[in-house]
Structure 1
Amino acid sequence: MSDLAIADVRNRAILLMVIAIFCFTLMDASAKALAPRIGVLPTVWARYAGQMALVLILVAPRLKTVAQTSQPVLQFLRSILLMSATAFFFTGISLIPLSDAAALMALNPVLITLGAALFLGEPLGLRRIGGIAVALIGALIIIRPGSAVFSLAALLPLAAAGCYSAYTLFTRRLGPDEDVWTSLFYTGLVGTVLLTLAVPFVWQTPDLIAWGLIGMITLFGTFGQLALIRAFSQGEASMLAPYSYTGLVFAALWGAIFFSEMPDVWTIFGALVIAGAGLYVWHRETFRR
C-alpha cells in the first residue's frame, strides 16, 4: 500500500473516531433531556435496549457463534460494570452541567493506566504517576470540594469513570481471542435483561417528545457504535486515542445550545488539565512502544 493510501486510511479512521464521539455526546445530551421526563432508569434501559437491537440485527446470521464465550463470568462482570458506568453518568448529567460531567469522565485514560499497573502488572513509571496525579488535580479543580459550588452529584461522573475504567481492564483480561461482537452481545444482553426486570417498577409512560428522545438515543448510540468499531478496524488505538478529547468540546457545545449551560473558567481550566494529563500519558505509552 502506498504512503498516500495509508494516509487516506488513517484520515478516514480519524474522521470516523470524531463522528463516533460526536454521536455519543449527542446521545448523552438526549439522555440529559429525557431523564427528567421518564426517569434515569428508563433512560438507561432505552440505551441498552437500543444497543441490543442493533447487535442482534448485525449478528443475526451468526448469532449462535457470537453467543459462545469461554469467559462467561468475566463477560458478566464487565457488563455489570459498563451498565453501572452508564447509570452513574446518566444520573450525573441529569443533575450537573454536561460539560462538567464530560470533563470528569475524561479521567478514563489515566485511571485505566493506573489500574493496568495495579491489577495487570503493566509498568508504571514516575512520569505516568505524575500524569495521573495531574489529572486528579484537574478533577478537583472542577468539583472544588469544600467550596460553595461543590455538590455530591459531581461525584457521579467520577464513579462512572471508575466503573468504565474497570470495565476496560476486564475487557483487556478477556484477551484477543474473544470476538469483539461476543463482547458487544453480552454487554447489551446483560444490561437489557437486568434493566427490563427493574424498569416496570419505575416506568413512566413517555409522551411524544420523550419517544422522540428515546429514538435519538438509539439512533446516536447505534451510529456512534458503528463508527467506533469501523474507526478501530482501520486505525490503531494509540493513534485514535487523543481524538476522544473532542468530546469535551462537543459536550460544552451541546450544554450551551440545548441547556443554556455555560462552563465557568474553573471547569474549562480543569478540563484542559485533565486532557493535557491524558495526552501526556498517551504520548508516553505510544512512544514507549
Structure 2
Amino acid sequence: MTQNEPTLPQPAIQAPAVPPKSAPGSDQLGKATILICVAAFIFATQDGISRFLGANYSPVFITMLRYWFFTIFVMAIVLRQPGGFRAAIHSKRPWTQVARGIILALEIVVTIEAFVRLGLINTHAIFACYPLLISVLSGPVLGEKVGWRRWLAVAVGFCGILIVLKPGSGVFSSSAALPFLGAVMFAVYGLLTRLVARDDTAVVSFFWTSVIGAITMTIIGLRTWEPIAAKDMPWLLVLCVCAFVAHFMLIKAYELAEASALQPFSYTQLVWVSIFGVVIFGETLAPNVAIGGVIVVGAGLFTWWRSRQRERQGPA
C-alpha cells in the first residue's frame, strides 16, 4: 500500500433499526452521547482496518465476510424481538427494502476501494457531504420541501468539497469521485430508509438490510474468494468484532435518545479517522483538506439544525 494514495471512509454512523423505548432524560441523553462517541471511535477503527485489508484483498471479498458475520449478529437481535423471524421478514415495501440492502452493500465496497486509493482523511472529508445530499434529494424522493436556507447550506458544503479536491491543481483524479459516489449511494440509502419507515418497523428494516446485503455480497463475492494469510486473520476477526460492538452500542444509544439529538456527535468519527490516517498510515492533513472538511461538516450541522427547527416549528 502506498502512503500517498488518498482513501475513502466507510459510511458514517447511522441510526439502527431499533426504535427508542423511552423519552430521554438528561441522564439518558448523557449515556447515549457517550455510547455514540465510543461507537464513532470503533467505526473509525473499522475504517482503518478496512483500509489495511482492502490493500491486500478484494474489497468485495472483505465486504462479503463482514456481512456474513453481521447477519449472524442481526439474527440474534431479531430472534429476541416480539414475533421473532416471522415478524421481521414481513415488510409492506419489500422491493424498496431489497433496493436499500443492495445499495448499502455496494456502497461499502466503493468506500473500501476509496480508502485504499484516497486515504482515510481525504475520503471522509468528501464523504461527510452525505447529509447535504439527503437534503437535496429529500424533495424528489420524499416530497419534502427544501427551503432556501438548506439550499444555501448545500451550496456552501459543495464549495467545501471543491476546496478539498482543488480541481485544476493537478491533484484531482478520477479516484476522487469514489467518495462522492459513496456519499450519493449512502444518501439514497438513508432516504429509502426514511421511506420504508412509514410502513415498516425499525426491526424489519434492520433485518432486510443485513439479509439482502449478505445475499448480494455472496452472489458477487464468492468468485473473489482467496486464502487469507495467517497474519491477517486477527485483523479480519477484529474487523468483524468492531462491526458487532459498534452496532450494539448504536442500538443502545438510540434506545436512550432520539437520533436527531445524537447526530452531531457522529462527526467525532472524522477526528479519529484523521488521527489514524496521520499516525498509522502516514497520511498528510493538507490545509485545504482541513479547511474544506470543516466547511462541509459545518454545512451538514446547519442542515441538521434546520431540520430540528422545522420539527419544532413546522416548515419555514
Question: Under a length normalisation based on structure 1, what TM-score does the superposition of the two structures give?
Answer: 0.94
Per the TM alignment, residue 198 of structure 1 is displaced from its structure 2 partner at its CA by 2.2
| 1:121 counterpart residue number | 143
Q: Which position in structure 2 is the counterpart of 1:30?
A: 49
CA contact (8 A) 2:105 2:216 kept: no
**Deviation of 1:262 (Å):** 2.2
Equivalent residue of 2:280, what SS?
helix
SS of 1:44's equivalent in the other structure is helix
Q: How does 1:205-220 map to 2 (within 5 A)?
A: 205-220=227-242
Greater mean deviation of Cα atoms: 51-60 or 84-93: 51-60
* 1:279 and 2:301 are equivalent in the alignment: yes
Note if contact 1:45-1:192 (Cα within 8 Å) is conserved in structure 2. Answer: yes
Distance 1:54 1:143 in 2: 38
> Which segment is superposed worse, 278-287 or 157-166?
278-287
For residue 101 of structure 1, the aligned residue among 123, 128, 137 is: 123
Residue type of the alignment partner of 1:202: T
Which residue is equivalent to 1:17?
36
CA deviation after TM superposition for structure 1 residue 176, in Å: 4.4
Partner deviation per Cα, 1:222-265 (whole Å, 9 max, x = no partner): 11111112212211222111111111101101112221112111
Q: Displaced runs of 4+ in structure 1, greater than 3 A?
A: none
Aligned partner of 2:72 in structure 1 is: 53
Post-superposition CA distance 1:90-113 (Å, at most 9, x none): 110011120111111111111111
Secondary structure of the structure 1 residue equivalent to 2:86: helix
User: How many Å separate the matches in 2 of 1:226 and 1:66?
Assistant: 18
1:172 correspondence with 2:204: no
Q: Which moved more, 1:67-76 or 1:267-276?
A: 67-76
State the one-letter code of the partner of 1:218.
C
Of residues 88-97 and 178-187 in structure 1, the stretch that sits farther from structure 2 once superposed is 178-187
Structure 1 position 74 matched with structure 2 position 93: no
Displacement of 1:139 after TM fit? Answer: 1.1
For 1:170 and 1:6, locate their aligned partners in 2 and report how far apart those are by CA, in whole Å.
Answer: 30
- Name the CA distance, whole Å, in 1 between partners of 2:256 and 2:136: 27
Kept in 2, the 8 Å contact 1:248–1:271? The answer is no
2:132 aligns with: 110
CA RMSD of aligned residues (A): 1.5
Confirm or deny: 8 A CA contact 1:89 1:156 kept in the other structure. yes
Structure 2 unaligned segments of length 5 or more: list them. Answer: 1-23, 312-316
Between 185-194 and 24-33, report the one with greater CA deviation.
Answer: 185-194
Given that 2:93 and 2:199 are in contact with CA atoms closer than 8 Å, whether structure 1 keeps it comes out as no
Aligned to 2:4: none
- Partner letter of residue 71 of structure 2? M
Read off the aligned partner of 2:26 and give its amino acid letter.
A
Query: 1:58, CA displacement in angstroms?
Result: 2.1
Q: Say which structure is richer in helix.
A: 1
In the other structure, the counterpart of 1:268 is 290
Other-structure match for 1:238? 260
Deviations 1:162-218 (A, max 9, x none): 001001111111124412222122111112112212223222211123222211221
The amino acid across from 2:45 in the alignment is L
> For residues 210 and 264 of structure 1, do their structure 2 counterparts lie closer, same or farther at Cα, with a shift above 3 Å needed?
same
Distance across 1 between alignment mates of 2:231 and 2:161: 34
1:194 paired residue number? 216
Aligned residue number for residue 40 of structure 1:
59
Where in structure 1 are there 5+ consecutive unaligned residues?
Answer: none
Q: TM-score, normalised by structure 2?
A: 0.86
Identity of aligned residues (%): 28
Q: Distance in 1 between matches of 2:66 and 2:280?
A: 20
For the residues of structure 2 that align with 1:118 and 1:249, how far apart are their CA atoms? 33
